[in-house]
């Protein structure tokens, strides 16, 4: 279809689509008037049942923990997918990273940026671990904390060089972290199965509300999710960076060839 006929077709259809959507939305209770039975019940009982002050975490990792396991594996599948799609092809080879190459195009990062990056890296990692660990108490948890941890790693590249990034995540460590996190979640579920007969049963003692060691299994699940998310995002990052900075086509002969392709 030509561009115009495609657009016209869509615009006509979108009127019908929007009308349908708005008709459906009109049947919802007023904004701000939520009174659904699921949320109400959980707001009443979750604190007492699980000693977790962050009810969102209780829902994510306990009541609906099975869905979260599925979501975690979607992340896993997406990351493995990126690794598969970016894998080395027959006519490619690896070269020195662009930012290490002698004929690099962009200027080196300034010393100020590097010092700042070095200074901030530690606190960010610490903050990430804090967010992961306190997921059942305050807003946060494995997903958010894992992303913060991955950000720390990104910072090493942004403030420094690609080889520094590879230095702190050697070999398959990111992949290992990711796989360990994914397997860990299922492992926790199986432990629940063995301990009390149902998969993902929260069998650890619930402890005192408000302490780090409360809410049973939830902190451990948070840990595994944080590990997986951090590993996953670092893996995605290194794959993309490798693709841009390191991989070259064999017949185009090194950085010149890459610049040729970038210009076209």
Partner 1 sequence: MDSLTPLPLAVSLLGAAGLTALRGVLGRRVFELAAVAVSAAVALLLAALLAASIEAPIVYWFGDWTPVDGVALGISFVIEPLGAALATLAAVLVTASFVFTWRFFDNAEHLFHVLMLVFLAGMVGFALTGDLFTLFVFFELMSVSAFSLAGYKTEEEGSLQGALNFAVTNSIGAFLILAGIGLLYGRTGALNLAQLGEALAGAPPDGLVITSFVFLVTGYLVKAAAVPFHFWLADAYATAPTSVCVLFAGVLSELGLYAVARVYWTVFDGAFAGHLPALRAIVIGLGTLTALVGAAMCFPQRHIKRLLAFATVSHVGLLLIGVGIFTPTALAGTLIYIVTDGLVKASLFFCTGILLHRLASVDELGCDGLGAVMPLTRVLFVLGGLGLAGLFPFGTYLGKSLIEDEAAVLGYPWVTWVFIAASVVTAGAVLRVAARVFWGVGPGDAYDIKSEAEGDEVQPEGSRGGSGSTPASMWAMAALLIAAAFVSGLIPQLAGRVEVAAEHFVDRRAYADLVLAGVPPPEVGLPPAESSFKGALIGLASAVAAGMIAAAGLWHMRLPRTITRGATALLGPPFARLRALHSGHVGDYVAWLTVGVAVLGGLMAVMMG
Partner 2 sequence: MSFAPFAVAAWLFVIGLYGIVTSRHLIHLVICLSVVQSSTYVLLLAIGYRTGAAAPIFVDTKPGAPAVDPVVQALTLTDVVVGATVSALLLALAVQVHKASGTFDPDELDTLRG
Residue 172 backbone phi and psi in degrees, to 5:
-100, 25
Other Cβ atoms closer than 10 A to 67: 11
Q: Which is nearer to partner 1, 80 or 164 (CB)?
A: 80
Residues 162, 100 contacting (CB under 8 angstroms): yes
* Range 2-21, binding partner 2 (CB under 8 A): 3, 6-7, 10-11, 14, 17-18, 21
210-229 in b/e form (b: 16+ CB < 10 A) is: eeeebbbbbbbbbbbbbbbb
Decide: helix, strand or coil at residue 216.
coil
Stretch that binds partner 2, among 38-46, 106-114, 152-160, 216-224 (CB under 8 A): 38-46
**CA neighbor of 210 nearest in space, from 35, 74, 51, 56:** 51
* Residue 211 to residue 205: CA distance in whole angstroms: 12
As given in the structure block, the two tokens for residue 135 are: 């997921």
Q: Does 239 interact with partner 2 (rule: CB under 8 A)?
A: yes
- The nearest distance, CB 170 to partner 1, in angstroms, is 13
Stretch that binds partner 2, among 66-74, 102-110, 113-121, 186-194 (CB under 8 A): 66-74
- The nearest distance, CB 90 to partner 1, in angstroms, is 7
Q: Does 66 interact with partner 2 (rule: CB under 8 A)?
A: no
Q: Which of 101, 168, 186, 247 binds partner 1 (CB under 8 A)?
A: 186
* Residue 68 to residue 229: CA distance in whole angstroms: 12
Q: Which residues bind partner 2 (CB under 8 A)?
A: 3, 6-7, 10-11, 14, 17-18, 21-22, 25-26, 28, 30-36, 38-39, 42-44, 46-48, 53-56, 58-60, 64, 67-68, 71, 74-75, 78-79, 81-82, 85-86, 137-139, 141, 143-144, 146-147, 210, 229, 232-233, 236, 239-240, 243, 264
């Amino acid at each position: 279809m030509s561009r115009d006929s495609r657009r016209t077709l869509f615009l006509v259809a979108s009127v019908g689509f929007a009308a349908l959507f708005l008709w459906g939305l009109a049947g919802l209770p007023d904004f701000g008037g939520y009174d659904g039975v699921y949320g109400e019940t959980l707001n009443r009982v979750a604190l007492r049942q699980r000693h977790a002050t962050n009810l969102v975490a209780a829902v994510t990792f306990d009541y609906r923990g099975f869905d979260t396991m599925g979501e975690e594996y979607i992340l896993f599948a997406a990351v493995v997918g990126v690794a598969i799609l970016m894998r080395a092809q027959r006519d490619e080879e690896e070269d020195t990273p662009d930012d290490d190459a002698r004929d690099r195009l962009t200027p080196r990062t300034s010393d100020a940026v590097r010092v700042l990056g070095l200074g901030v890296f530690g606190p960010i990692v610490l903050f990430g671990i804090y967010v992961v660990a306190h997921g059942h108490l305050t807003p946060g948890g494995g997903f958010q904390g894992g992303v913060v941890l991955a950000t720390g790693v990104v910072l090493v590249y942004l403030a420094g060089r690609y080889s520094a990034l590879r230095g702190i995540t050697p070999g398959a460590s990111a992949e290992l972290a990711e796989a360990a996190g994914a397997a860990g979640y299922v492992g926790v579920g199986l432990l629940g199965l063995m301990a009390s007969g149902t998969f993902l049963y929260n069998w650890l003692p619930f402890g005192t509300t408000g302490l780090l060691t409360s809410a049973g299994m939830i902190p451990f699940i948070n840990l595994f999710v944080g590990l997986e998310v951090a590993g996953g995002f670092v893996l995605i990052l290194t794959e993309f960076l490798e693709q841009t900075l390191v991989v070259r086509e064999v017949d185009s002969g090194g950085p010149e060839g890459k610049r040729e392709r970038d210009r076209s």
